[in-house]
Structures are given as C-alpha cells and as structure tokens.
Structure 1
Amino acid sequence: MRLGLCVERDHNASLGIERKVMRALDSSQGKNPKDANLRSLKRDKILRELRPANEIAIQTFMPNFGPSKTSGSLSIPIPIEKLRTLGRKLVRGITYVLNDQLLIEADHAIDIHVVNEVGAAVARKLIYQYGGRYDRGPGITIGQARPSEDLQSGIFGIEIWGRVWLHATVVPIWENPFPAGKEKQ
C-alpha cells in the first residue's frame, strides 16, 4: 500500500495501482461496517506518518525514489523489513509455481537486498544468462537462476513497477559440525 502511494499515475508498469490504494483507504468502499472502520484506521495511520519530503534527508530515500519535482511533495516511511517480507513472499511463490509446488524449507535462508537500478541491471544480466525471466502479474518481473542439484537454492532479481529492485539469495543454512572449542584434531 505504501509503495502504491509512491508510484506515478501514468507509468505503464504501475497503471491503476494508485487507484486501488486510494480505494483500499476509502471507508465508503468497505464491504461492511468492520471493513469500513479498518480502512479508516489505515488511512488515518498513513496520514499521521506523512512528512514533507523536503524535511527528509535525501540519503534515506529508497533507490529510485525521492522528492518529486513538484513543490509540496510528501514522503511516507516504508520499513525495510516490509520490503524484505514482500521479497521473501515473491521468492517462495515463484519457487512453488515453477518447481512443481516445491516449498523452500526451513533449512534454507532467504536474504533480500534493496538495490538501485544500476545494481539491478548488472545482476539481471547474469540471472537471465543462467536462468529465466518470469512476468508475475501486472508490473512484477522475477528473474531466477538455480543450480540443478538444489532447486530450493538460487539467486533472484525482482522488479516491481519499474521502480523497486530487490535481489534475493536462497542458500542452505550451513551448520558447523565443529562448534567452538570442538574443532577436528
């Protein structure tokens, strides 16, 4: 929802997103009184968190985001952990869909990194060279490259609405067979 407030209305990759976000925050669109109340509470929370963009340090903006050219632009905080949660969800989903309903098990770690467009382009070239590209709904593209011996592992490049780039790695969690003080002689 927060990302949807930050996209351009006329950008093809995110066309209609802003309208959906505004509808989700409109209590008159609630399906019932409880839903209407929840929409109102969410809207109020977002309104409380809005800040004038010119009061925010430029280095704290996400890559490819920042104050708009128009005066009076606002900013909304987007917690990095929320982006990582979204990235993990997309990685788990694409793994499930493309690998015969294979789940990423607890013995594998998923690391998510927010990157800028330049970093995304470098990794994307490698991922597409050794893997594939998959369009997952309007405005979301996921590239993945996986080793043939472990279909849970891999590297991923995720592009959302042509504005947000996430990189992900999925690797087995290594357990040291020689805990501290018990090294092999």
Structure 2
Amino acid sequence: MLAHPEWQSRVAAVFSWAGVVGGSPLADNVYSSVRDWDLSRVVQRLDVVLEWICPIINLRKGTALQRMGEMDIQDAIKSITVEHRAGWLSSHAEALGRLPMPVLCITASCLANECAYFNASGWMMLNMYDGNNDMQVTQEAALLHTRLSSHLAVLHANHWDISFGAFPPAMTLGSSKLQHPFPRQAALLAM
C-alpha cells in the first residue's frame, strides 16, 4: 500500500494473518549465526547434509536448492529481525498512519507441546517474551499498529498450522505435529 498508493482507493481492508510485522527474536538468533557465512559454499553441501539427516528426501530429483543462486538468504533472514523491522516501521510510521483502510490483525498462540519437536526450543525462547507466542512470532510482533488497526482474534494454533497444509510424511522428520488440522479455509472465508 505504501509502494503503490494508487491502489489504496481499491482496497477495503488489509488483513495481517500471523504476520511478522515487528520481527522475531528467532530471526535475530539465526541472523547472528549466519550473517558472516559464505552460504554459496554451505548450499553446495546442503543436499548431502539433508539426505544424511533424512535419507527419504531425495534432493537430486531437482528442488529449490538448484535455484539458491537467485536467493539472498542472509538478507531474507535480516528482513525479519526485530531491529530491521523496527527501523522499517519507524521510517514508514507517517505513511502507515495515513493509510485510509482498516488493518485487521489475526494472530496465533500455541503451547510447546503443540509444536513439532524441532520447533519447541523456539517456542521456549519466545515464551521469555510472550507466553502466547505461536512458536515463530510474539503477539506484539504480529500486530501492525495504525490509526485504523484492530486485533480481531488470537487463533489457537501454531504459526505453521495457520500457514501451511500438512507436510508430506517423508518430510516430517519424525514429528507428528505437522498435520496442521487448523481449518484455514474456513477462517479465511469468515474474513
């Protein structure tokens, strides 16, 4: 809406569905680990590492890993760090305040036992900031504050439940928590 103000007259409302508006301490943690890595070298061996972790995944058939040269992983992670998001929100505060349409925010919240085992440590880290986190984002970080914003609902689900369909069994890494039974379609239709 800020990049294309000419669209504003055609938009009745904006929905933020578990957005990472304010960034995530999890992204801060990952970014501090990878910001100085030569990821092109890491990616060259990533297929071998993933096949070792989960042999049923055959990355040699052709995957997104073949297009890694088109991606800037470090910048993508940096873009959802708390510092980067705070800077963006601050530099765009005036324009966000002038948005003529409501911003309707829907967030999620779950318990540690409702996450895949490999996401539980992220939930615990976020729990230090917010006991109602969704394993990826805190409630506050999922809200966009404008003069016409409203926090419509907190859904009982984890971040992936409301974002993805069920993972193929071969890609669950042994977790039983990746079936994502949350009724996304019904929730989206209700909006």
Q: Please, what TM-score do these two structures have when normalized by structure 2?
A: 0.25
Could you say which structure has the larger radius of gyration?
Answer: 1
- By relative contact order (CA 8 Å, sep 6+), the higher-ranking structure is 2
Higher strand share: 1
Q: Please, what TM-score do these two structures have when normalized by structure 1?
A: 0.26
